[in-house]
Amino acid sequence: MCGIFAYLNYCAPRDRRYVLEVLLNGLRRLEYRGYDSSGIALDADLPPPGSAAAYAGAPPLVFRQEGKIDNLVRSVYSEVDEKGVNLDATFSVHAGIAHTRWATHGVPAPKNSHPQSSGTGDEFLVVHNGIITNYEILKETLIRHGFTFESDTDTEVIPKLAKFVFDQACDGEGDMTFSQVVMEVMRQLEGAYALIFKSPHYPNELIACKRGSTLILGVNEVSDQNSAKSFQNVKSLTTNGSPREFFFSSDLCAIVEHTKNYLAIEDNEIIHIKDGSVSILKFDKEKEKPASVQRALSVLEMEVEQIKKGSYDHFMQKEIHEQPHSLTTTMRGRLKDSGVVLGGLKEHLKTLRRSRRVIFIGCGTSYNAALAARPFVEELTGIPVTMEVASDLLDRQGPIYREDTAVFVSQSGETADTLLALEYALEKGALCVGVTNTVGSTLSRKTHCGIHINAGCEIGVASTKAYTSQIVVMAMIALAIGSDQLSTQPRRESIITGLSSLPSTTNWINNLPCHVSEVLKLDAEMKELASSLIDSESLLVFGRGYNYATALEGALKVKEVALMHSEGMLAGEMKHGPLALVDENLPIIVIATRDSCFSKQKSVIQQLLSRKGRLIIMCSEGDISAVGPSASCRVIQVPEVADCLQPVINIIPLQLLAYHLTVLRGFDVDQPRNLAKSVTTQ
């Protein structure tokens, strides 16, 4: 869940202040991945000629601080002033690394922040995203060899192991390259990781490697503003001499303001930057020497505006209000001639139609989106659908067969439990389909086929626009699989018409009404509702049918950001326990929009009213009299759309409610307590 970032300029003179700001700004872009502590490392000045030095390069300047990035910024500039560091000193080549942490081993504290060090002199420094599962064994071994440990982290074994390997080579009077040191370290590590190494023994060099955790390389050709074409040549990375800037990052959003030329690093690849060129080595634990690999850079299709708040106060607020646009981009080019065209599935549609069952696998919000899609996938395809929480599937080792299709849903495409479930399903021989928002993610690379939801960069930790886009993508998948069935053609056509009416693009298809834009007009009403709930300790949300998932997701949003206990419940289970909680103080949201379960939800409302329940009823526009609320009930009216698409509309008022409740309660909307955006640990 951590964010790692690095910057190296080659033959492009930059002063230390510039390097420092690039590193700190990179961390700001990655802060959603973890924000309980952070740190950076850059170079101090070279020692005077003739003075004794332990290594060839300049000694590192290392800064670590508990808390958010702003704490680190204040600490860095304070220490710089105290130490008399010259921020105006210019470097033609300089390498710096940075890290923002979500704690897994050790409480948030400077000693547990990264970069982690090999010890006195900081001969090897490492920033790490992931978990080393065999760190305890490695730690015991290193202690026996005289190393002392200062932190509680699993990461500290890595730089100390690098120093041990380096010292062993020096004692044997051997000459070891930086990549050889890292390779020997990788040989000992177990677990998931993305690592960046910096060492004064190898000045002006950076090495990155990964296994399981995301890592991106960005390259900016300083002298050529039109460098994208040159980078499509696989040999361009290995040439040196021209001025360049290199960036390592856990996410594309941290490099888009610097370059659009990037490389998604593959598992077991070692990326070595030296003298302005990039060497890519493929590590194999069974082989002594790695294979050399040549890769071309890709061009990033993202704009800087996507990673800025614009006129909004928070990213979550912005992303809720972006949903008309995000749904438009999700569907763009995919709805044609009253049908659906999904290029990512085209070659596998026959296999999908022959599946004995479809298994939706996800975690959190992505699981809820899949649950919302289950009813209409079964209806349109005739294929049974089962739901699996990724971690539970792995714990049970649940049965998966070759005739199954496993659909993996993940906004980031890097969710650890989902990726481990993917490996399990691949071993069982199932067709694996990915639904993700992140181009080049591990999920998109390892599945047999899939669909990108194209919702745009989502920075707020609580997912909003990705959720609605995931539902729409799975609706289109169901339409594509069931397109060979004549019996469902009228139903498919009505759903396609409904899809067309969701987003806001004027005259996009037949100038249909824009329902998402309409429901966003409830913003002020949801703020007023939030103010009435500000002192409540709990919230229940009842849904059923298509909107059971809406109840779960709405409650999850309130739980995530407003830090209020909230539970989404299947309304049909109300009489089997939850009814005991009902009184005049507990707020209860009942989702009762028009669908096949409408009459049952009306009955639920009456039962709750008879127990003096404090109800908030969500119904379709014009249905207030039909749901029959008492004068004490609050009513939220939403536009009516095709029943299977109603969850896309119904979740938006609950997202707005969670947002305003959080602001009014004085909590951090974009970085809620104890959470992080990309869950890359089990």
Q: List, in order, residues 6 or more apart from 490 with CB less than 8 Å away.
A: none
Sheet containing 125-132: which strands, arranged edge to edge? Answer: 116-117, 125-132, 191-198, 206-211, 269-274, 277-282, 291-293
Which is it for the CA torsion 344, 347, 348, 349, positive or negative? positive
* Rounded CA separation 66/519 (Å): 41
Element (H, E) at 436: strand 431-436
For helices 364-381 and 465-481, the axis angle rounded to 10 degrees is 20
Residue with the two structure tokens 């053609």: 489
Can 2 be counted among the known catalytic residues?
A: yes
Phi, psi of 30 (to 5 degrees): -105, 5
Selecting among 2, 209, 457, 633, the annotated active-site residue is 2
DSSP 272-339: EEETTEEEEEE--TT-SSPEEE--PPEE----GGGGS-TT-SSHHHHHHHTHHHHHHHHHTTTEETTE
DSSP assignment string, 47-111: PPTTS--SSSSPPEEEEEEESSHHHHHHHHHHHHHHHT--TT-EEEEEEEEEEEE--SSS-SSGG
The dihedral sign for the CA sequence 599, 601, 605, 611: positive
Among candidates 246, 244, 178, 250, which has minimal Cα distance to 212?
250
Handedness of CA 372, 376, 381, 384 (dihedral sign): positive
Asked if residue 60 lies in contact with residue 200, where contact means CB atoms within 8 angstroms, the answer is yes
Buried b (16+ CB within 10 A) or exposed e, 192-214: bbbbbbbbbbbbbbbbbbbbbbb
Q: Give the separation between CA 22 and CA 653, rounded to whole angstroms.
A: 38
N-term to C-term CA, the chain: 10
Residue numbers annotated as active site: 2
